Amino acid sequence: MGIPSGRRVFTPWFAPALTSEFWEIFNRARSSGDYIVSPECSYMVYQYCLSCLDLPGNIAECGVYSGGIAHLLSLLLQRHASKASLHLFDTFEGMPSASITERDHFVSGDLAAPLDRVVQRLDGFPFVEFHPGRLPETLSQVAGVTDYAFVHVNVDMYQSTLDCCQWFWPRMGTGGILFIGDYGMYAYRRTARAAADEYFADRDATVLLLPTGQALVIKR
Protein backbone atom coordinates (compact mmCIF):
# COMPACT_ATOMS: atom_id res chain seq x y z
CA MET A 1 0.00 0.00 0.00
CA GLY A 2 1.91 3.01 -1.16
CA ILE A 3 5.55 2.64 -2.21
CA PRO A 4 7.55 5.73 -1.15
CA SER A 5 11.25 5.52 -2.06
CA GLY A 6 10.57 2.24 -3.88
CA ARG A 7 9.82 0.36 -0.67
CA ARG A 8 6.56 -1.14 0.45
CA VAL A 9 5.66 0.31 3.83
CA PHE A 10 2.60 0.36 6.04
CA THR A 11 0.41 3.32 5.14
CA PRO A 12 -2.72 3.11 7.32
CA TRP A 13 -4.22 6.29 5.87
CA PHE A 14 -4.80 4.26 2.69
CA ALA A 15 -6.33 1.31 4.59
CA PRO A 16 -9.82 2.28 5.87
CA ALA A 17 -10.53 -1.20 7.23
CA LEU A 18 -7.47 -1.02 9.47
CA THR A 19 -8.10 2.50 10.77
CA SER A 20 -11.88 2.65 10.92
CA GLU A 21 -12.09 5.38 13.58
CA PHE A 22 -9.79 7.70 11.64
CA TRP A 23 -11.65 7.22 8.39
CA GLU A 24 -15.02 7.71 10.04
CA ILE A 25 -14.14 11.09 11.51
CA PHE A 26 -11.95 12.10 8.55
CA ASN A 27 -14.79 11.52 6.09
CA ARG A 28 -17.26 13.37 8.32
CA ALA A 29 -14.95 16.36 8.57
CA ARG A 30 -14.07 16.30 4.87
CA SER A 31 -17.70 16.13 3.79
CA SER A 32 -18.78 19.02 6.02
CA GLY A 33 -16.92 21.87 4.34
CA ASP A 34 -13.69 22.97 2.74
CA TYR A 35 -10.91 20.53 3.64
CA ILE A 36 -7.42 21.02 2.22
CA VAL A 37 -5.29 18.64 4.32
CA SER A 38 -4.27 15.32 2.76
CA PRO A 39 -5.29 12.00 4.34
CA GLU A 40 -1.73 11.20 5.40
CA CYS A 41 -1.21 14.56 7.10
CA SER A 42 -4.65 14.36 8.70
CA TYR A 43 -3.81 10.90 10.01
CA MET A 44 -0.64 12.17 11.68
CA VAL A 45 -2.58 14.92 13.48
CA TYR A 46 -5.23 12.38 14.46
CA GLN A 47 -2.87 9.74 15.85
CA TYR A 48 -0.68 12.12 17.83
CA CYS A 49 -3.62 13.98 19.31
CA LEU A 50 -5.19 10.62 20.16
CA SER A 51 -2.02 9.62 22.00
CA CYS A 52 -2.37 12.71 24.21
CA LEU A 53 -6.01 12.33 25.21
CA ASP A 54 -5.14 10.54 28.45
CA LEU A 55 -2.94 13.45 29.52
CA PRO A 56 -4.29 16.34 31.58
CA GLY A 57 -4.52 19.58 29.68
CA ASN A 58 -6.24 21.25 26.77
CA ILE A 59 -5.91 21.12 23.00
CA ALA A 60 -5.15 24.08 20.76
CA GLU A 61 -4.81 24.82 17.07
CA CYS A 62 -3.14 27.93 15.68
CA GLY A 63 -3.97 28.46 12.02
CA VAL A 64 -7.54 27.21 11.56
CA TYR A 65 -8.40 28.42 8.05
CA SER A 66 -11.77 26.84 7.12
CA GLY A 67 -11.83 24.53 10.14
CA GLY A 68 -11.10 21.17 8.52
CA ILE A 69 -8.54 19.92 11.04
CA ALA A 70 -10.41 21.67 13.87
CA HIS A 71 -13.46 19.63 12.86
CA LEU A 72 -11.39 16.43 12.84
CA LEU A 73 -10.04 17.22 16.32
CA SER A 74 -13.52 18.09 17.60
CA LEU A 75 -14.91 14.77 16.40
CA LEU A 76 -11.99 12.94 18.01
CA LEU A 77 -12.49 14.69 21.36
CA GLN A 78 -16.22 14.06 21.22
CA ARG A 79 -15.83 10.39 20.35
CA HIS A 80 -13.50 9.78 23.29
CA ALA A 81 -15.53 11.91 25.71
CA SER A 82 -12.48 14.05 26.41
CA LYS A 83 -12.76 16.73 29.08
CA ALA A 84 -10.31 18.97 27.24
CA SER A 85 -11.23 22.28 25.64
CA LEU A 86 -10.20 23.00 22.07
CA HIS A 87 -8.83 26.54 21.67
CA LEU A 88 -8.75 27.86 18.09
CA PHE A 89 -6.58 30.81 17.03
CA ASP A 90 -6.77 32.52 13.64
CA THR A 91 -7.29 35.98 12.19
CA PHE A 92 -10.11 34.52 10.05
CA GLU A 93 -9.18 37.34 7.66
CA GLY A 94 -6.19 35.66 6.03
CA MET A 95 -2.51 36.35 6.48
CA PRO A 96 -1.83 39.57 8.40
CA SER A 97 -0.13 42.57 6.84
CA ALA A 98 3.08 41.70 8.68
CA SER A 99 3.72 38.80 6.28
CA ILE A 100 6.87 39.12 4.19
CA THR A 101 6.34 37.44 0.82
CA GLU A 102 10.02 36.63 0.24
CA ARG A 103 10.16 34.81 3.57
CA ASP A 104 6.63 33.86 4.57
CA HIS A 105 5.52 32.61 1.13
CA PHE A 106 2.03 34.14 1.43
CA VAL A 107 0.80 37.71 1.07
CA SER A 108 -1.60 39.62 3.28
CA GLY A 109 -5.15 38.27 2.97
CA ASP A 110 -4.20 34.81 1.71
CA LEU A 111 -6.03 31.83 3.26
CA ALA A 112 -8.98 33.82 4.56
CA ALA A 113 -12.05 32.02 5.87
CA PRO A 114 -14.94 33.92 7.50
CA LEU A 115 -15.26 33.33 11.22
CA ASP A 116 -19.03 32.87 11.11
CA ARG A 117 -18.68 30.05 8.60
CA VAL A 118 -16.19 28.18 10.81
CA VAL A 119 -18.32 28.80 13.91
CA GLN A 120 -21.31 27.34 12.09
CA ARG A 121 -19.27 24.34 11.00
CA LEU A 122 -18.26 23.57 14.59
CA ASP A 123 -21.63 24.27 16.13
CA GLY A 124 -22.53 21.39 18.41
CA PHE A 125 -19.11 21.11 20.01
CA PRO A 126 -19.48 23.08 23.25
CA PHE A 127 -15.84 22.56 24.21
CA VAL A 128 -14.59 24.62 21.25
CA GLU A 129 -13.45 28.17 22.04
CA PHE A 130 -12.64 30.70 19.31
CA HIS A 131 -9.94 33.36 19.64
CA PRO A 132 -10.13 35.50 16.48
CA GLY A 133 -7.43 38.06 15.84
CA ARG A 134 -3.70 38.32 15.39
CA LEU A 135 -1.07 36.37 17.23
CA PRO A 136 0.46 36.91 19.72
CA GLU A 137 -2.17 39.42 20.98
CA THR A 138 -4.96 36.83 21.16
CA LEU A 139 -2.87 34.55 23.37
CA SER A 140 -3.63 36.86 26.27
CA GLN A 141 -7.20 35.51 26.13
CA VAL A 142 -5.91 32.18 27.45
CA ALA A 143 -3.46 33.54 30.01
CA GLY A 144 -5.21 31.48 32.67
CA VAL A 145 -4.80 28.21 30.77
CA THR A 146 -1.54 26.69 31.97
CA ASP A 147 -1.67 23.10 30.72
CA TYR A 148 -1.80 21.84 27.14
CA ALA A 149 -1.60 18.22 26.03
CA PHE A 150 -1.57 18.78 22.25
CA VAL A 151 -1.02 21.94 20.19
CA HIS A 152 -1.22 22.01 16.39
CA VAL A 153 0.75 24.94 14.98
CA ASN A 154 -0.03 25.61 11.32
CA VAL A 155 0.36 29.36 10.93
CA ASP A 156 2.79 29.38 7.96
CA MET A 157 4.58 32.60 9.00
CA TYR A 158 7.97 32.75 10.71
CA GLN A 159 7.04 35.19 13.47
CA SER A 160 3.71 33.56 14.23
CA THR A 161 5.36 30.12 14.49
CA LEU A 162 7.97 31.54 16.83
CA ASP A 163 5.27 33.24 18.92
CA CYS A 164 3.41 29.94 19.26
CA CYS A 165 6.54 28.06 20.33
CA GLN A 166 7.38 30.75 22.89
CA TRP A 167 3.87 30.75 24.34
CA PHE A 168 2.81 27.13 24.32
CA TRP A 169 6.02 25.19 25.00
CA PRO A 170 6.41 26.40 28.61
CA ARG A 171 2.73 25.53 29.14
CA MET A 172 2.90 22.00 27.73
CA GLY A 173 2.40 19.22 30.26
CA THR A 174 4.80 16.30 30.52
CA GLY A 175 4.27 13.99 27.54
CA GLY A 176 2.45 16.71 25.62
CA ILE A 177 3.10 17.24 21.92
CA LEU A 178 3.72 20.47 20.03
CA PHE A 179 2.87 19.55 16.44
CA ILE A 180 4.19 21.77 13.62
CA GLY A 181 2.27 21.38 10.40
CA ASP A 182 4.59 22.58 7.62
CA TYR A 183 8.02 22.15 9.16
CA GLY A 184 9.55 20.03 6.41
CA MET A 185 7.92 21.64 3.38
CA TYR A 186 10.39 23.44 1.12
CA ALA A 187 8.18 26.51 0.81
CA TYR A 188 8.26 26.95 4.60
CA ARG A 189 11.98 26.39 5.16
CA ARG A 190 12.39 30.03 6.23
CA THR A 191 9.15 30.12 8.24
CA ALA A 192 7.97 27.11 10.25
CA ARG A 193 11.29 25.28 10.13
CA ALA A 194 13.46 28.31 10.80
CA ALA A 195 11.31 29.45 13.72
CA ALA A 196 11.11 26.01 15.35
CA ASP A 197 14.82 25.33 14.91
CA GLU A 198 15.65 28.72 16.40
CA TYR A 199 13.43 28.24 19.42
CA PHE A 200 14.47 24.69 20.25
CA ALA A 201 18.18 25.13 19.48
CA ASP A 202 19.10 25.73 23.13
CA ARG A 203 16.38 23.67 24.79
CA ASP A 204 16.32 20.08 25.97
CA ALA A 205 13.97 19.00 23.21
CA THR A 206 14.24 17.53 19.73
CA VAL A 207 12.20 18.47 16.68
CA LEU A 208 11.21 15.14 15.12
CA LEU A 209 10.50 15.28 11.38
CA LEU A 210 7.79 13.03 9.95
CA PRO A 211 7.82 11.72 6.37
CA THR A 212 4.75 13.83 5.65
CA GLY A 213 6.76 17.03 6.18
CA GLN A 214 5.12 17.65 9.55
CA ALA A 215 7.14 17.64 12.77
CA LEU A 216 6.58 17.29 16.48
CA VAL A 217 8.28 18.02 19.77
CA ILE A 218 7.49 15.96 22.88
CA LYS A 219 7.66 17.61 26.29
CA ARG A 220 9.79 15.56 28.64
Pick 75 or 182 by higher pLDDT.
75
Please state whether 175 falls in left (phi above 0), alpha (psi between -120 and 50) or beta. left
pLDDT-derived band at 110, boundaries 50, 70, 90: low
What would the mean pLDDT of 14-30 be, rounded to a whole number?
A: 87
What would the mean pLDDT of 109-114 be, rounded to a whole number?
A: 65
Domains of the chain: 27-218 (3.40.50.150)
Q: How far is CA 156 from CA 44, 103, 130, 167, 184, in A?
A: 18, 10, 19, 16, 12
Are 213 and 183 a contacting pair, CB within 8 Å?
yes
Of 94, 82, 60, residue with least CA distance to 179? 60
To 5 degrees, how large is the angle CA 30–CA 34–CA 37? 65
Residue 50, pLDDT above cutoff 60? yes
Q: What is the pLDDT of residue 1?
A: 46
Percentage above 90 pLDDT, the chain: 75
Among 37-46, 110-119, 166-175, 182-191, which is the least confidently predicted range? Answer: 110-119
Among 103-107, 140-144, 146-150, which is the least confidently predicted range? Answer: 103-107
Average pLDDT over the chain, rounded to an integer:
90
Residue 6, pLDDT above cutoff 80? no
Report the distance separating Cα 194 and Cα 158, nearest Å: 7
What would the mean pLDDT of 201-207 be, rounded to a whole number?
A: 95
Of 205, 144, 143, residue with least CA distance to 175? 205
Of 21-25, 91-95, 99-103, 187-191, highest mean pLDDT = 21-25
User: pTM here?
Assistant: 0.90
What would the mean pLDDT of 209-214 be, rounded to a whole number?
A: 95
Q: What is the pLDDT of residue 98?
A: 65
Report the distance separating Cα 66 and Cα 54, nearest Å: 28
